[in-house]
Structure 1
Amino acid sequence: MNRSVVTTLLPGLLFAASTPAVAGDCLPKVEGAWIRMPPVAMPMMAGFARIENPCSSPAAVVGAESLAFADVSLHETRQEAGISRMREVERLPVAPGKAVELKPGGLHLMLHGPYQPLAAGEKTVITLKLADGRALPVQFEVRKSAP
């Protein structure tokens, strides 16, 4: 190979070698995203959706944020000794080819401190933070009941 070809290709090869590969830029898909509107104004709400991983590598949701809420976190409701208990979840893995359901009575997004009242039919964006550093903005619809 002549010198001019090497000096032309070298910068691109160095950049490619220093850039982390991100599973072909494949992202999880989110369907049926909705926020349950409480019957009376409350300082917290809950978000639900189906998160599917069509990618060949595992994915994990490690957080969430929204301009509509002071705080968004992953939670799980469990029945323990006949008592419903909620706990925060730090990592929500989604295996390749699988899906995870965020639904009432189970895994969900806890939405604290809405900055303004939300009405049924309104839409707002909640951004899911992935373990690999990427962000997945998702539009959620406010509803009185599940779709």
Structure 2
Amino acid sequence: MNRRIETTCLLALLMVPLASASAAECLPEVRDAWVRLPPAAMPMMAGFARIENPCDTPVTVVGADSLAFADVSLHETREENGVSRMREVDALPIAPGKAAELKPGGLHLMLHGPYQPLAEGEKPVITLKLADGRTLPVVFEVRKTAP
């Protein structure tokens, strides 16, 4: 009888790290990622996407970078007293089972200093940085208008 209890306890203890590892491996899913192509060559562009959190725990996007741009940052456009204002956002928390929309006129990625002109249909990679130190490379498609 004691041997059976010891075996059961040992199996339970061995399964704990497996459960923790699978939770740590869960990453947000990014859909409809695109970069707006400006009408003329400009030193900045904007990136949009839907970031879904299928995980059991919250995830927080705390930054981004790309080999295609000198600087990538998370921004939000808000209307204040009838004037549209943009400000940098330090973190984007996403609750379990929820999503964040990066879209024109709201949250978006500000893409500064493209290293070379981008054309419609090109697919730069932008890597999202998560608060826990993990990264998520995402392929964005350059488009003239929203999908």
TMscore range, shorter length: 0.7 to 0.9
Q: Which runs of 5+ in 1 are unaligned?
A: 1-12
Give the 5 Å matches for 1:1-147: 23-147=23-147
Q: Name the SS of the counterpart of 1:123 in structure 2.
A: coil
2-structure distance, mates of 1:55, 1:98: 9
Report the AA paired with residue 60 of structure 1: T
Report the AA paired with residue 95 of structure 2: A
Q: CA RMSD in A?
A: 1.6
Tell me how far 1:21 sits from its aligned partner.
5.0
The ranges of structure 1 where at least 4 consecutive aligned residues each deviate by more than 6 angstroms after the TM superposition are none
Q: How many residues end up aligned between the 2 structures?
A: 131
**Deviations for 1:116-141, whole angstroms, at most 9, x for unmatched residues?**
00000000100000000000000000
Tell me how far 1:23 sits from its aligned partner.
2.0
Q: Name the SS of the counterpart of 1:86 in structure 2.
A: strand
2-structure distance, mates of 1:53, 1:117: 32
Q: Name the SS of the counterpart of 1:35 in structure 2.
A: strand
TM-score (ref. length: structure 2)? 0.85
1-structure distance, mates of 2:105, 2:77: 6
Give percent identity, aligned residues only: 78
Q: Which runs of 5+ in 2 are unaligned?
A: 1-12
Report the AA paired with residue 55 of structure 1: C
